Structure 1
């Protein structure tokens, strides 16, 4: 199903230039741009959930004297 959307001539020109540069139709260009935006937002969200180095150092020091690494080694050895 196709539909018509109203966009300014400037946006139409920019979209047309993008589509031509990438060998896409206008619809494919819109789809590609939306997919790119979704991926950027997804990875930005993932990045926000990854602890930074300061958090890791603090967590490592607070778990126990040997740190998280020693704890994980002992935990994994006990799981075998």
Structure 2
């Protein structure tokens, strides 16, 4: 019902994608996926970073709920959609 992708090593990880099927949204699947990422990355401590498209309130709430915070770093995706970076120190 969902998928997540993470890259990195030596304590520096980048959550590059997460998607939950529309029919599974709001059921806790995203929390389970993120929990699996945190367990995997947290083995040696370190940091996870990710980017969220501006206006994706559900995603930002999910990450805030798990302890991520905005860094102030901003960019664009697809050439014109603003996005912002979030990090979690493990």
Quickly name the TM-score band, shorter chain normalised: under 0.3
Higher strand share: 2
TM-score normalised per structure 2 = 0.23
- Larger helix proportion, structure 1 or 2? 1
Higher relative contact order (CA 8 A, sep 6+): 2
Normalising by structure 1, we get a TM-score of 0.26
